[in-house]
Every structure is written in structure tokens, then in C-alpha cells.
Amino acid sequence: MSSAEIELEPRKKIYESIRENPGAHLRQLDRMLEIPLGTIRYHLRVLDKRSLIVSRKEGKYKRFYVRGDIDSSDKDRLAALRKELPRTIILFLMEYPGCTHKEISEVIDVAPSTLSYHLKNLREKNMVTYEKNQYCVKDEEAVADLLIQYRRTFLDNLVDRFVRMWTKREEK
């Protein structure tokens, strides 16, 4: 079903916002749309009941996706990329693969224990590999495709810089 077939304007706006920003959570939708939070909640329930969207619990967030638009592994990747620090780690490792924990923590101004926590989560989500004391992004092409496709939804200068660097690399 397309958004044209959704009868109410607020519901249509919410559906389109989820299509354009897969993995957005309730508060993100609230910030993006000029619709009262209670109204957003109501329409999310209706869209879910009609099987137009799916939700997925990710830590303390419930993230929303248009049904059938994105496969499970991309949902995992997008969920991680929607968080600033994991996204920063991923972007750094894509530019400098094979870095050690110490090298990452020296460049990304974060406590070593916080970095360890996020690297562990990224490894559990199968986004980062760890071999011989070095970290690398797993399936760089898939991650890069998501960053490029949803670039404008991240509102992040690091993503913009990465996309410019990645596309220049592909042109060579």
C-alpha cells in the first residue's frame, strides 16, 4: 500500500516520514513532524495494526520501518547508525580500518570503557570485526550504501564528509 492510499493527512505524513527515515523512533518522529505526540502514537498503532509498518525494539528505543522496505540486516545497521557515537566509530573505522582500541579512543574523544561498550555492541550486531587486536567494519559496501542512501536523514557533517570521500574513492 502506498501513502496515497492512506486516507488521513497526519497518518500519511507519519508513514512518509518513516519511509524517508527508516529506523526513526518516536521522539525523532515528534521532532520531525508538527503533529502532537499523542496523535503520532495513535497513528503508529493504526499503521502497525494495518501491517503498513513494523516496529523493532532497539535498546530503550522502538524504531519504525515501512513493512518490506528494508531487510533485517539493514535494520540492524541503520539502528546502529542512527546513534551518534556508534556512527562516529563506524565512520572512523571505514576511513581507517584495522585500528586498535587505543588508536580509536585517542581520536574519538571518549572514555576507553565507553568505547569498549560500543565496540562490543557493534561486534554483537555483526557490524565490526575484531582480529589480531584490530577493528574493521564488516560489509563496508552495505554500510556505505545505507549512509549514502539516507545521508540527509543523519544531519551529520561526518556522514557528509564520509560520503564525499567514499564516492571519490569509487570514481577512481
Alpha-carbon distance 150 to 142, whole Å?
12
Q: In sequence order, what are the beta bridge partners of 128?
A: 137
Q: Would you write out the chain's pLDDT as a tens digit for each of its 172 residues?
A: 555 457 789 999 999 999 989 989 999 899 889 899 999 999 999 999 999 999 989 888 899 999 988 888 888 888 889 888 999 999 999 999 999 999 999 999 889 999 999 999 999 989 999 999 999 999 999 999 998 888 877 766 667 677 777 777 766 6
Res 62: pLDDT: 93
Contact between residue 53 and residue 65 where contact means Cβ atoms under 8 Å apart: yes
Q: Is residue 139 left, alpha or beta, with left meaning phi > 0 and alpha meaning psi from -120 to 50?
A: left
Res 1: pLDDT: 55
Res 36: pLDDT: 92
Alpha-carbon distance 16 to 33, whole Å?
11
Q: In sequence order, what are the beta bridge partners of 136?
A: 129
Report domain extents, the chain. Answer: 3-69, 74-171
Contact between residue 119 and residue 108 where contact means Cβ atoms under 8 Å apart: no
Alpha-carbon distance 62 to 55, whole Å?
6
Say which CATH topology domain 74-171 has.
Answer: Arc Repressor Mutant, subunit A (1.10.10)
Among 96, 94, 169, 86, residue whose Cα is nearest residue 139: 94
Res 132: pLDDT: 93
- Evaluate whether 3-69 and 74-171 have a shared fold: yes
What secondary structure, in 3-state letters, does 16-67 show?
Answer: HHHHHCCCEEHHHHHHHCCCCHHHHHHHHHHHHHCCCEEEEEECCEEEEEEC
Helix (H) or strand (E) holding 136: strand 134-137
User: Considering the domain 3-69, what is its CATH architecture?
Assistant: Orthogonal Bundle (1.10)
